Amino acid sequence: GFAKVDHHRSLRTGMPEVIYAKGKTSNQVARIFLSLTASGVNVLATRATREQYEAVKQVEPRAEFHEIAACITLNQKGDPTQTGIIGVVCAGTSDLPVAEEAAVTAELMGNRVERIVDVGVAGLHRLLSQHSRLQEASVLIVCAGMEGALPSVVGGLVGVPVIAVPTSVGYGASFSGLAALLGMLNSCSPNVTVVNIDNGFGAAYVATLINRRQSS
């Protein structure tokens, strides 16, 4: 038969333990959170409510809550260990929760993170004025809802991988992020890849793997 070896571990090396808090009770989140802190790794709960955070804080007072990101974090590892920068870009305030989920996740994974917000494509000068900051990043996470055009434009301005995160921001024919998702998959910038709608966490995970390569 097959031995029960945790091959998954190689992947997770240095990554925080992660809880998807949505649909779990405050009690469940607190209990799981506590159990994960033991080994000294960082711990992250995404899609968390303030109520869940209060329960976590009871059992682990060092835990922090990130309101907009809806994340609970415990950083036991300290400062960034990657030398490269992950840029997290988004168009407007509505995309912030997704962008912040990505940024908070990336920070907890040991990356230096630069946030570049309010740079929607309908006001190009705002994006262009951030051109040098965009070019300093080793990898970019670009979050956008509605027509999801931002990753294509950003992709054309930089020479590094762009991870596009469609958000469910919009109404009507945005179909809860489908329009943005399709747009990003059809990006004419060849340095763009895509993750699931609103999946800031997944984008940060891959960006971390990419960012690590530079510092090795």
Ligand X SMILES: Nc1ncnc2c1ncn2[C@@H]1O[C@H](COP(=O)(O)O)[C@@H](O)[C@H]1O
Question: Taking CB under 8 A as the rule, does residue 44 contact its own copies?
Answer: no
Continuous H helices in 60-116: 96-108
Residue closest to Mg ion when measured from CB atoms: 202
The answer to whether 174 contacts its own copies (rule: CB under 8 A) is yes
Only one residue has tokens 């609970």, namely: 72
| Count of C-beta atoms within a 10 Å radius of residue 101 | 28
- Whole-number Å distance between alpha carbons of 159 and 25: 44
Which one of 111-119, 123-131, 139-147, 196-204 is the stretch in contact with Mg ion (CB under 5 A)?
Answer: 196-204
The burial class, CB within 10 Å (0-12 / 13-18 / 19+), for 51 is exposed
Q: Measured at the alpha carbon of residue 90, what is the angle toward residues 197 and 145, in degrees to the nearest 5?
A: 40
| Residue 46 binds which of Mg ion, its own copies, ligand X, none (CB < 5-8 A, kind-dependent) | ligand X
Closest to ligand X by CB, 188 or 216: 188
Tell me how far CA of residue 107 lies from CA of 15, 47, 166, 172, 187, in angstroms.
11, 17, 21, 34, 27
Site residues (CB under 8 A) for its own copies, limited to 102-141: 120-126, 128-129, 131-132, 135, 138
Binders of ligand X among 17-36, rule CB under 6 A? 18-20
* Helix boundaries (H) for 80-193: 96-108, 124-128, 131-136, 150-157, 178-185
Tell whether residue 38 is a contact of its own copies (CB under 8 A). Answer: no
Binding to ligand X by CB under 6 A, coded x per residue (else -) over 38-57, reads --------xx----------
Binding of ligand X by 73 (CB under 6 A): no
Residue type at position 67: E
Please count the residues of this chain forming the interface with ligand X, following the rule CB under 6 A: 11
Binders of Mg ion among 163-192, rule CB under 5 A? Answer: 192
**Binding footprint of ligand X on the chain (CB under 6 A):** 18-20, 46-47, 92-93, 190, 199, 201-202
